Amino acid sequence: MILDPDFGLHVSRPDGPQSLYRAVVARSVLDLFGKVIPASEKDEAQLARREALYFLTRENGAWAESRRRLCAACEIDPDALRANILRILDGGEIVGADTRNSFGGIEIARQFWDEEQSASERAQVAREQQAKRQPTAPRQRVKASYSTIRSVVLPLLSQPRQFKDLIAATEGEFGDSMIRKVLANAVNKGEVVRNDKNHTYILAAA
């Protein structure tokens, strides 16, 4: 299975906080390959699938850093996970899974992947042409959903961090207001503890 490090033997099934982190990674796999995504609007469902694709396949940037941190928290090899996802996107099978039900959206995911690859190739050509004429324009900030920002920010709080540390760790890809909203909601739910003395945040389970 995709997330099973002992290939079905289950001798390393996690518990506690580790199981929570692994559930986040597993959710992203289902969002990418699942036949039905739990979203009220079609556009939201497509966005969830694309964000799962970015999270699981990006090699650099905030998406890749989030994957590495989450995988480290639940003892999954992030490179092996990415390689397995790419293998499936390139035509491989999901071993031991019911692809008609749980993973009925594989072909849609592969279509998204093909579009992503084509877009990347076009963007690379455009960058090369632009570089010949003038300096490359600054990269635009990613407009991500609340759930995506939450999945990036919370794993960063396995150790105490100030707000400015979170901005630096996410490379400014998410808006300050949305990060503050994620922190405020997490504090209210008891998931995150705020130290008013040194203005740091940390996971309550850390």
d(CA 82, CA 88): 10
Q: Is 95 or 12 the better-scoring residue by pLDDT?
A: 95
Name 161's bridge partners: 201
Average pLDDT over residues 145-174: 87
- What is the CATH number that goes with domain 146-203? 1.10.10.10
> Would you kindly state where each structural domain of the chain is located, as residue ranges?
17-112, 146-203
Residue 8: pLDDT band with limits 50, 70, 90: very low
Residue 40: pLDDT band with limits 50, 70, 90: low
Residue 9: pLDDT band with limits 50, 70, 90: very low
Q: Is 121 or 195 the better-scoring residue by pLDDT?
A: 195
pLDDT of residue 11: 39
Mean pLDDT over all residues of the chain? 80
Q: Residue 30 pLDDT more than 80?
A: yes
Q: Residue 184 pLDDT more than 90?
A: yes
pLDDT in tens, 113-152: 888 888 777 777 777 777 777 655 555 555 778 888 888 8
Q: Is 22 or 43 the better-scoring residue by pLDDT?
A: 22
Instruction: Give, for 193, the enclosing helix (H) or strand (E).
Output: strand 192-195
pLDDT of residue 41: 62
d(CA 187, CA 201): 9
Q: Residue 47 pLDDT more than 50?
A: yes
pLDDT of residue 37: 55
Average pLDDT over residues 174-192: 89
What DSSP letter does each residue of 110-176 carry, written as one string?
HHHHHHHHHHHHHHHHHHHHHHHHSPPPPPPPP---HHHHHHHHHHHTTS-EEHHHHHHHTTT-S-H
* Largest interatomic CA distance in the chain: 57
pLDDT of residue 206: 62
Q: Indicate the residue type of 52.
A: A
- Model pTM above 0.85: no
Q: What is the DSSP letter of 194?
A: E
Q: Residue 19 pLDDT more than 90?
A: no
Q: Residue 189 pLDDT more than 80?
A: yes
